[in-house]
Amino acid sequence: MKIIKQLFSSFIRRRGISKSFTREPLFLEMLAQGLGDNFITMVDIGSNDGVESIFALNLKRNKIKVHLLEPDPKNLNKSIKNIRFACKGLGNVQFHQLAISNKTVEDEFFCNPKAPHLNSATLNEDAVIPIPVKYQTLDVFLNDHAIPTPLLIKMDIEGHEVEVLEGFWNYAATRRNIKILMELHPKKYSDTHSLEKILKKYFDVGFKAKYIESAKAPISVKFSEMGMVPVKIVGKRALYQSPTNEFVLMAACKEHLININKSEKVTRNIVRSILIARD
């Protein structure tokens, strides 16, 4: 793992995308844990530049199949170029210009040319330029491409993870060997757009939280109050193993206006990302 990370770091420095790696080392750590030791299929939703797929392909070599989904054609082309450059000889990846949601429909997707990692399925202050795209539910995509389990779903999609989980619910509730790694966006959640409600449904059928990554501070007040001890700290973030589902629902699904490390600084977001699984 250490050698792979060193080689990968060298690659992304040459390609000018090093921020994606150095900024999210704990996300990649969870990705590695989610990939496991056996053959697995990874669906990379909202890739931006292909970094996570590159990491997975180089880590797993001949024990992985990757489907990379990206609605923005510019991001998709960037991902294709980066992966072909970094993963020569690795042909087990397919690219799809597609957005995943809770319905199958032709609709608009909104882009930010200066910061394409902020592209969004909804119009907002960060994403304002509309492009036409095809939306599809994840279960339809998996069935159309005959994708089996074990399965790892990775997504960083600016709050639209709520819709993806809603559209994936019937499939996920009846199968095992599914892992879901997602970056969270608490400011995008509300009573009518609730991550908590859909995540609780997943927990009710046997999904469990495997890892949770803190945001803004390695050990925030909420983590400290629960007596949680990180397994790894990198900068202002920390990785925690086996948090309770109840803690995830409380901490990850809404904003918290709390002090950082009992200081005068405050944050609204105390969780960066989570990995859940139904083994």
101 touches 69 (CB < 8 A): no
Segment 58-71 shows an average pLDDT of 94
Distance of alpha carbon 12 from the chain centroid: 19
Distance of alpha carbon 133 from the chain centroid: 21
Instruction: Please give the full DSSP string across 206-270, using - where no structure is assigned.
Output: T-EEEEEEE-SSSS-HHHHHTT---SEEETTEEEEES--HHHHHHHHSS---EESTTSS-EES--
Per-residue pLDDT for 277 more than 70? yes
Where do the CATH 3.40.50.150 domains begin and end in the chain?
Answer: 1-101+139-183
Domain 1-101+139-183 fold is Rossmann fold (3.40.50)
Is the torsion defined by CA of 40, 162, 102, 123 positive or negative? Answer: negative
Instruction: Assign 70 to helix, strand or coil.
Output: coil
- Higher-confidence residue of 178 and 187: namely 178
Per-residue model confidence as pLDDT tens digits over 68-90: 999 999 999 999 999 989 887 66
Segment 50-67 shows an average pLDDT of 94
For residue 10, the model assigns a pLDDT of 55
Write down the mean pLDDT value for the chain: 89
Per-residue model confidence as pLDDT tens digits over 7-32: 555 555 554 444 455 568 999 999 99
Q: What is the pTM of this model?
A: 0.90
For residue 60, the model assigns a pLDDT of 92
Residue 22, token pair as written in the block: 């150095």
